Amino acid sequence: MKITTAITLSAATILSSHESTAFTAPRAHQLIAPSKGFSTLRSTLVDETDTINKQQLTEEQTQENYITETVANTQKSFQDDGFVFGLEGSGLERVKGRGANVVVEGDSLETTPQQVAMVSGTFAGQALIAANAIHELYTHTNGNAPVTALISLATIVSSWVAADLGSGILHWSVDNYGNGRTPVMGNIIAAFQGHHSAPWTITYRGFCNNVWKLCIPFGLPTVAAISFVAGPENPMVSLFFSFFCFSEIMSQELHKWSHMTKKETPAIVNTLQGLGITIGRVPHAQHHMAPYDGNYCIVSGFCNEALDNSGFFRWMEHRIYEINGVESNAMKLDPELRAKTLRGEYRLTQ
């Protein structure tokens, strides 16, 4: 009992010594005001949270900007160096079905009067030069018509074969090197490489719209210059190159026929293809298999087998790579082909 009384007196003394007001529990309807320290802590936490959110937003925005810039830099066009159709990020997708897709800036499927004028003028001029060459040849043979006809026919046939070879070399070069900014040949390069993204587009083009681009390198100025250098004493040279340049221009139309069905082409076209005089559908279809490394000739296709079996184009690509370090597009598309080419294994049948 004495112990209890002592404890009670000690507690009372402590409370009175601190001059404390008697503690009263807050009522249910009263609010406890936060202390100054709590308010400061809360303010600090809010500021830190805002800072973290802003940092996260900045990082997300930076990452988004980086992705946008990266995509923009990898979406290449024919105006960019290093463009290779078929590589990831090339910006071109192969069109499914028989759809048309014009990929060259400023190009159109519509035939214009300027195109008609260029093609008509080119063919008319080449025909005049060829006719004059035959006349000169007739004079040189002292008016012997059979001999003149035989020599002219032989010249035309040899020119046709040479044109097939030439079309293959041209096709190989523009498929594998250069871009839309390449001087003189830029539009042709863009058209040929873009052709792989939508092969059927060519079938929607009219004749002049399809061939006019080739009138630039193989047009009247080229034939006239060669004839002038050869002179009237060499009429066979003028005849040969007149027909050669005509055939190179026509190769694009022969190419178009190889993408059309038998029902879509005239009977004479089907006959010429069947005889092997012009490039057929099946031989050219073999070219449209990635990495587009063979069957480049598109006049008659006569030279394709010899060129591919000999490895001529792979040999050329190897020499070019040794000279300037530039890889062909076919090598870029197919690492195995690249390795074989650099090992000197050039034949496609190996």
78-92 pLDDT tens trace: 444 445 554 444 445
Longest dimension (CA), the chain: 160
Average pLDDT, the chain: 80
Distance CA 256, CA 8 (A): 114
Q: Which residue has the higher pLDDT, 42 or 205?
A: 205
Q: Which residue has the higher pLDDT, 202 or 184?
A: 202
Comparing 91-95, 171-175, 194-198, 344-348, which segment has the lowest mean pLDDT?
A: 91-95
Distance CA 57, CA 74 (A): 26
Chain segment 255-312, per-residue pLDDT in tens? 999 999 999 999 999 999 999 999 999 999 999 888 889 999 999 999 999 999 999 9
The reported pTM is 0.72
With bands split at pLDDT 50, 70 and 90, how would you rate the model's confidence at 51?
Answer: low
With bands split at pLDDT 50, 70 and 90, how would you rate the model's confidence at 182?
Answer: confident
SS (H, E, C) the chain: CHHHHHHHHHHHHHHHHCCCCCCCCCCCCCCCCCCHHHHHHHHHHHHHHHHHHHHHHHHHHHHHHHHHHHHHHHCCCCCCCCCCCCCCCCCCCCCCCCCCCCCCCCCCCCCCHHHHHHHHHHHHHHHHHHHHHHHHHHHHCCCCHHHHHHHHHHHHHHHHHHHHHHHHHHHHHHHHCCCCCCCCCHHHHHHHHHHCCCHHHHHHCCHHHHHHHHHCCCCHHHHHHHHHHHCCCCHHHHHHHHHHHHHHHHHHHHHHHHCCCCCCCCHHHHHHHHHCCCCCHHHHHCCCCCCCCCCCCCCCCCCHHHHHHHCHHHHHHHHHHHHHCCCCHHHHHCHHHHHHHHCCCCCCCC
Q: Which residue has the higher pLDDT, 114 or 84?
A: 114
Nearest to 217 by CA among 251, 176, 257, 179: 251
Q: Is the pLDDT of residue 192 over 60?
A: yes
